[in-house]
Structure formats: structure tokens, C-alpha cells
């Protein structure tokens, strides 16, 4: 009989439950977990192919120093020595960790604790900065904390689902399946898709708004104005639970201005505003098209303003909903795995919070100011200000903006540690010390998905070679740096228990994130832990499923804040770079393909790097369908296959970010993206890049 283990898919932020079965011959198969409340047995193509990606081909099986196999002791001693030396000579801010939404919460917790409490710097950032940091910043501005108010079920209960900058069908496929099934059962459920491209998601839409790139602020500021002028706001909710309504209304844009900036036909814009006004149960989902922008935080707040003004928040079938890209972007946020956050959603800028966390950890010091966010972090590496860098479970040489400059920076950094499962990634090949990590199916811990649901990832395979958990590697370095007591963990359950205890320490229930009920969890209960949504405060059983229906925001006065948002100039093109490039994902690949690229089945969907362009643009520049097109920005160039389609708006290109130098030469699309970020969140603007295109 096969041995079955309940675990969680390691790809997107939907966080689907998976049952992995290992047969007597060692063969692994996977199926959706019918009992998991986020997917009820469904899986998408990537999740279904998980068993095809767990072979040992290309794995790092032993620690390596300068390309030579070493013992764990040698490697860990060297890492601790180099980090300690850099700190002693150049100060705590001369070292940095760049981590990942692929890490489990327990890994993230130990990394954050080591850097912020024991090194004394906040130079720990994550590839989640590229994914959802604008949503975090928008939530904190409006709600006073980084809280997602709703649940997946709200998409099924709504009368109107607005998908802003989200290709749900490809990027959160199981959530799309749930929405499509709800719409099939109840055709009155309307779907509006806001996206410059006519994506596969737009095929389900009752209304597709192909706005000009980066004009979402004008679209929603115009909606806000429309709601007020048509008496569609909830005056009682505004009076009882919010601040700043008048200032936001003063900044809202008129219908003609929204029309001009978005470039939409008047009939379409009017219809969107009518639908939103007339539908009480509205959910607005937002993803990378909103977040990955130089105005990403304002876009989020423009959306939140409309939900706050109508009081459509925290009740069944209504509310704003941030869709995280990564499997554990939320878990990372919970433990403070961003350079501008402390653990348990506490504030790094707050002396009281810093003191509380330092006392809980019994730490010798605590970071006193926010650290370097991802783009700034690699700039600091390039400038020689970072003397020792530890990269875990991510491949920034492919995925960071200005990827060639990031590669040069890593190459020039005096000491680079990479923890990964594969030894030949574009980043791993620059490591001074390469540490073998455990992969999906081998490691144990928790992840949190987009609806705040914490699920276990469980090991069902033995670790190959000498691969060890990421938290173990960090703890061993912490011990060697002189902090033996603080990092004396003997398993993931003890780390989770400590994380839960910190969430309730002296502030249980006074903040949004509280899982204090799990503070005393032992290994057996941890192993049996069923998926749950936070909060779960100690002594109070189940927490709320939804937030804010009756106010209770996390600003000191308990009120939400409207934010006066201003539409920014959106067109970056000029005569030399006349096209706007939008980067993104495809259905069957994940990030830089180091794992999903192992499945031959997944590669049959789209086999090679490509760029979509409109037929008339293709004709004008002389690119033929399926021919090669060279795309160039001031930062670099790529050569990819031309996919000529009228799904793409004129004057714009779409290219996926997955391919790396292992799969195709000159296909790293992030080499084109400039290091331009949102001024508040630090999230890169990956969807509005001025480029030139020509036949190759």
C-alpha cells in the first residue's frame, strides 16, 4: 500500500492542499487534498506535475567551498567566520540576507531573528518584495496593519468580482477554477477584468477593461468620485470607522480625466462604474499588475478607498483581496521577513515594538531602522557596501530587475553564500559557499496562503546526500557566531511554537496577527496540525474569519485611513524605445523554471521564450509570426520567439520572466527591467518598461 502524506503545493499563493503517495517501489504520485479548505481537491497543471519534478538530477548533495566538496562543519564555520569578520570590521549593516517566498515560515523566522536580533541589522529582504510589498504598504496605510480582510469563499459569494492586474486563470489557477465554477452555477455573478492584455482570464469576463499600462489609480480614483457623486457611499461606515474621506475625495479624478488617462471607451468605463455602484457584494482582487508598479502602493489604496467608502469590507462576498504570488509570501510577512518589518507584524519604527521583540528573543541588540529593500540591497552589493551576502532559495540573477547588473554585483561581492537545492542555477554558480538545502517533499514546516490560511508542508521523502533544512543552516551559523542558546532548535515544531508565542507576547489580541493558541505546540500536535486561518488567539478558540465589517482597524484610534492618491504619468516610451513591455508568468512554469522546468509535460504548453505583440505592430517593424524578435532596453537585450496576437494591445509587448540561461541564450527578460521602484513599498515596476523591438 502506498504511504500517503498530506502536504501543500510549493508553487503559488493559492496554497493548495496536496496528498503525496509513495509506493512500495518508491514511486511518488500526487493528488489534490479533498479536505483542504483552499482547494477542496483541485490542483492545476503545475501542482499535478509535482511528482515529475523531484528527481535528484542537478541536486547539490554536499556543502561546497569554492567548488570543492567540504564537510558541513567546514562550510558553516567559514560562513560564521566571514559574517562575523565583516560585522566586526564594517558594522552590522555590511552583511545581508536575500531570502525567498519559497522558504517555510520556520526558515524565515530563524533568518529574521538572526539578522535583526543578533547581527543587529535589518538587511534581510526577500523576493516577496517583487511580489506583494505594495499590497503590504497599502494595507498598512489604510488599515494600520498588513491584514487581508477576506477569504477565498468571498469570490464565490460575490455578485461582482473585479480582477485588477491579475491573470487569475494562469497565475492562481485553482482560485480561477473556483470562480469559474461559481459563475457557471450562478451566471448572475459578474466578472470584470482590468488588464492591458486580453489574457485567458479575460475570456471569462463580462467586461474587460484594457486600460493603458499603469493607469489603475485614475480608474479607481474616478470610481471613488463616481460613488460619492451618485450617493453610493456608506455614510455611517465612513463616519464611524474612517478618517480622511474629504481629502481623498478632493484628490479623486473626474470621469473625463479617468477616461483620458485610461484610454477606455466611455461606454466601458460607465458600465464598470455602474456595475460597481449597483452591486453590494463586490470583491476586488489585485495582483502583480497592481503591485509591480512605481505607483503600486497608490493603486492599492485607490482600490481600498472604494471599498472603505462603500463599507464593503469584511462581510461575506465583499472586500478588497490581495492575491500573493508566492507560496509563503504571507508567512514571510508574519515573521517580519521584509527589511522594513519586525516579527509578528510589529513595527521596526516603533521603539516599544523593538523593545518587546528584543526582550522576547533575549537578543543582545535589535535593528533600529529599516534595512535595504531588494533593489537597494543589490545596489549596495554593487557599491561594495555589503561584504557578506547569503542568498536562500531564490535566483536573483534571473528574477531581479536589472538582472545583468545584479549578476555583476554578486560576482564582485567579497563573500557569497547560496543555499539551494540545485547546484547550477544562474545565481548558485557565483557562490563562494554552496549549501545543500532540502526541497519540497523533504522539508517540514508551515506556509500561509493568500487567505491567511496556515498549512503544513510535510516531508515524505528522505533528504538526499547531506541536504539540510534552511532553518538548521541558519541556526548552526547563529550558534557559531556565539548565540548558541537562542538558536538551540531541535526541529521545526519548536520554531513554530516560538513564533506563535511571540505573536501573543504582551500584545495578544491587540494586533491583527495572533496565533498564540499554538504557543505551546509540541512535535506530535505540530505534525497533526490541520490548516487554519489566523488569527487564533490563545484562550479564545477560533478567531475571526473576516476582518473590519464593524471597523476595528489597527491605527491607534481604530479607524481606517482614506489615502489621497494622485494618478502619475504612466507612459515611459520615447522615439528610441517606443514599446511598453509587460513581464509576467505563463500557466505551466514557475519563476525561473529550476523546478517546473524538469517536467517535460509542463514544457509542452509553451516550449520556449516568447514575446506577444500585436499584428499591426509586427507588420510595421517587420517581425513575422514565429520569427525571432530582439527586444532591447537601455539595460540589455533578449532574443525570443514572436507570438503575434491581437490579445496584445498596440504599442505593447508581453514577455514571461521564466527562462534563464540554462534553457535559452539571451532570454532573461529581467535584464531589460530598470531598477525603478515604488517610492513607498520598494517594489520594482516590472510591467511598464520602455523597449525597442526589431526582427532578429
Closest distance between ligand SF4 and the C-beta of residue 156, in Å?
16
Closest distance between ligand SF4 and the C-beta of residue 17, in Å?
9
Closest distance between ligand SF4 and the C-beta of residue 338, in Å?
22
Closer Cβ to ligand SF4, 138 or 531, answer by number: 531
Pinpoint the alpha helices (H) of 351-402.
351-361, 374-382, 396-399
CA distance 581 to 651: 9
Closer Cβ to ligand SF4, 112 or 326, answer by number: 326
Closest distance between ligand SF4 and the C-beta of residue 34, in Å?
14
Closer Cβ to ligand SF4, 169 or 388, answer by number: 169
Question: Which residue in the shown chain puts its C-beta closest to ligand SF4?
Answer: 47
Determine whether 305 is exposed, middle or buried from the number of CB atoms within 10 Å of its CB (0-12, 13-18, 19+).
Answer: buried
Question: How many residues belong to the site for ligand SF4 (CB under 6 A)?
Answer: 14
Q: Which stretch binds ligand SF4 (CB under 6 A): 166-174, 488-496, 555-563, 603-611?
A: 166-174
Closest distance between ligand SF4 and the C-beta of residue 391, in Å?
23
Residues 3-22 that bind ligand SF4 (CB under 6 A): 9, 11-12, 14-16
Contact yes or no for 335/108 (Cβ under 8 A): yes
Closer Cβ to ligand SF4, 173 or 314, answer by number: 173
Angle between helices 492-504 and 105-112 (to 10 degrees): 70
Place of cell 532548535: 489
158 binds ligand SF4 (CB under 6 A): no
Closest distance between ligand SF4 and the C-beta of residue 436, in Å?
24
Closer Cβ to ligand SF4, 47 or 213, answer by number: 47
Closest distance between ligand SF4 and the C-beta of residue 12, in Å?
3
Contact yes or no for 189/318 (Cβ under 8 A): no
Closer Cβ to ligand SF4, 43 or 148, answer by number: 43
Residues 32-61 that bind ligand SF4 (CB under 6 A): 39, 43-44, 46-47
Closer Cβ to ligand SF4, 46 or 511, answer by number: 46
Q: Which stretch binds ligand SF4 (CB under 6 A): 169-177, 225-233, 290-298, 685-693?
A: 169-177
Closest distance between ligand SF4 and the C-beta of residue 399, in Å?
17
Closer Cβ to ligand SF4, 174 or 618, answer by number: 174
23 alpha-carbon distance from chain centroid: 34
Closer Cβ to ligand SF4, 172 or 261, answer by number: 172
CA distance 669 to 653: 12
Torsion over CA of 313, 314, 319 and 321, rounded to 10 degrees?
A: 130
Which cell numbers hold the place of 192?
470584470
Closer Cβ to ligand SF4, 73 or 203, answer by number: 203
Pinpoint the alpha helices (H) of 443-516.
470-480, 492-504
CA distance 316 to 569: 36
Closest distance between ligand SF4 and the C-beta of residue 530, in Å?
18
Question: H or E segment at 85?
Answer: helix 72-90
CA distance 258 to 246: 19
Long-range CB contacts (within 8 A, 24+) of 661-666: 661/398, 661/426, 662/424, 662/425, 662/426, 662/593, 662/597, 663/593, 663/597, 663/608, 663/609, 664/608, 664/609, 664/640, 665/639, 666/637, 666/638, 666/639
**Which residues 6+ apart lie within 8 Å of 391 measured at CB?**
97, 98, 99, 410, 416, 417, 418, 419, 427, 431
Closest distance between ligand SF4 and the C-beta of residue 173, in Å?
5
Place of cell 497599502: 138
**What single DSSP character describes residue 623?**
P
Which residues are at the interface with ligand SF4 (CB under 6 A)? Answer: 9, 11-12, 14-16, 39, 43-44, 46-47, 172-174
Amino acid at each position: 500500500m502506498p504511504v500517503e502524506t498530506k502536504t501543500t503545493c510549493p508553487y503559488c499563493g493559492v496554497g493548495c492542499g496536496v496528498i503525496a503517495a509513495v509506493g512500495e517501489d518508491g514511486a511518488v504520485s500526487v493528488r489534490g487534498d479533498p479536505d483542504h479548505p483552499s482547494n477542496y481537491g483541485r490542483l492545476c497543471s503545475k501542482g499535478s506535475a509535482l511528482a515529475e519534478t523531484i528527481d535528484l538530477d542537478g541536486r547539490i548533495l554536499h556543502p561546497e567551498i569554492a567548488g570543492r566538496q567540504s564537510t558541513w562543519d567546514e562550510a558553516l564555520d567559514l560562513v560564521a567566520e566571514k559574517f562575523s569578520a565583516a560585522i566586526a570590521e564594517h558594522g552590522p549593516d555590511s552583511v545581508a540576507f536575500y531570502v525567498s517566498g519559497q522558504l517555510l515560515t520556520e526558515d524565515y523566522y530563524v533568518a529574521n531573528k538572526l539578522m535583526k536580533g543578533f547581527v543587529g541589522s535589518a538587511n534581510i529582504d526577500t523576493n516577496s518584495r517583487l511580489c506583494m510589498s505594495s499590497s503590504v504598504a497599502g494595507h498598512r496605510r489604510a488599515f494600520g496593519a498588513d491584514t487581508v480582510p477576506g477569504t477565498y469563499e468571498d469570490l464565490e459569494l460575490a455578485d461582482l468580482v473585479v480582477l485588477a492586474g491579475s491573470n487569475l486563470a494562469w497565475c492562481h489557477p485553482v482560485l480561477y477554477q473556483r470562480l469559474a465554477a461559481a459563475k457557471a452555477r450562478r451566471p448572475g455573478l459578474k466578472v470584470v477584468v482590468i488588464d492591458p492584455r486580453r489574457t485567458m482570464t479575460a475570456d471569462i469576463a463580462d467586461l474587460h477593461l484594457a486600460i493603458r499600462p499603469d493607469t489603475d489609480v485614475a480608474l479607481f480614483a474616478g470610481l471613488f468620485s463616481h460613488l460619492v457623486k451618485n450617493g453610493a457611499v456608506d455614510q455611517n461606515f465612513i463616519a464611524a470607522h474612517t478618517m480622511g474621506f474629504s481629502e481623498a475625495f478632493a484628490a479623486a479624478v473626474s470621469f473625463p480625466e479617468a477616461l483620458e488617462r485610461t484610454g477606455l471607451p466611455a461606454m466601458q468605463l460607465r458600465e464598470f462604474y455602474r456595475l460597481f455602484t449597483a452591486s453590494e457584494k463586490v470583491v476586488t482582487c489585485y495582483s502583480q499588475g497592481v503591485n509591480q508598479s512605481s505607483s503600486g502602493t497608490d493603486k492599492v489604496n485607490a482600490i481600498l478607498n472604494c471599498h472603505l467608502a462603500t463599507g464593503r469590507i469584511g462581510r461575506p462576498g465583499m472586500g478588497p483581496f490581495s492575491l500573493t504570488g508566492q507560496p509563503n509570501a504571507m508567512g514571510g510577512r508574519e515573521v517580519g521577513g521584509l527589511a522594513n518589518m519586525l516579527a509578528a507584524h510589529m513595527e521596526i519604527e516603533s521603539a516599544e515594538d523593538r523593545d518587546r521583540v528584543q526582550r522576547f528573543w533575549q537578543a543582545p541588540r535589535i535593528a533600529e531602522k529599516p534595512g535595504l529593500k531588494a533593489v537597494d540591497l543589490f545596489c549596495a552589493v554593487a557599491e561594495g557596501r555589503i561584504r557578506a551576502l547569503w542568498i536562500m532559495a531564490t535566483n536573483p540573477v534571473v528574477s531581479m530587475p536589472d538582472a545583468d547588473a545584479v549578476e555583476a554585483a554578486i560576482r564582485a561581492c567579497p563573500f557569497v553564500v547560496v543555499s539551494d537545492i540545485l547546484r547550477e542555477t544562474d545565481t548558485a554558480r557565483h557562490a563562494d559557499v554552496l549549501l545543500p538545502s532540502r526541497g519540497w517533499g523533504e522539508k517540514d514546516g508551515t506556509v500561509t496562503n493568500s487567505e491567511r490560511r496556515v498549512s503544513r508542508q510535510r516531508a515524505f521523502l528522505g533528504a538526499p546526500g547531506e541536504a539540510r533544512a534552511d532553518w538548521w543552516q541558519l541556526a548552526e551559523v547563529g550558534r557559531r557566531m556565539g548565540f548558541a542558546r537562542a538558536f538551540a532548535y531541535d526541529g521545526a515544531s519548536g520554531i513554530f511554537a516560538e513564533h506563535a508565542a511571540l505573536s501573543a507576547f504582551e500584545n495578544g489580541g491587540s494586533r491583527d496577527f495572533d496565533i498564540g493558541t499554538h504557543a505551546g505546540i509540541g512535535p506530535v500536535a505540530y505534525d497533526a496540525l490541520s490548516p487554519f486561518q489566523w488569527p487564533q488567539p490563545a484562550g479564545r478558540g477560533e478567531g475571526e474569519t473576516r476582518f473590519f465589517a464593524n471597523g476595528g482597524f489597527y491605527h491607534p484610534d481604530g479607524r481606517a485611513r482614506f489615502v489621497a492618491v494622485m494618478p502619475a504619468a504612466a507612459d515611459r516610451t520615447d522615439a528610441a524605445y517606443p514599446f511598453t513591455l509587460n513581464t509576467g508568468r505563463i500557466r505551466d512554469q514557475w519563476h525561473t523554471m529550476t523546478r517546473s522546468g524538469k517536467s517535460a509535460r509542463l514544457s509542452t504548453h509553451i516550449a520556449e521564450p516568447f514575446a506577444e505583440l500585436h499584428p499591426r505592430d509586427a507588420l510595421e517593424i517587420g517581425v513575422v509570426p514565429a520569427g525571432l524578435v530582439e527586444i532591447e532596453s537601455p539595460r540589455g537585450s533578449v532574443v525570443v520567439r514572436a507570438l503575434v496576437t491581437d490579445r496584445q494591445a498596440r504599442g505593447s509587448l508581453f514577455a514571461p520572466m521564466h527562462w534563464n540561461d540554462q534553457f535559452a541564450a539571451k532570454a532573461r527578460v529581467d535584464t531589460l527591467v530598470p531598477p525603478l521602484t515604488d517610492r513607498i513599498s520598494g517594489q520594482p515596476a516590472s510591467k511598464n518598461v520602455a523597449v525597442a523591438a526589431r526582427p532578429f
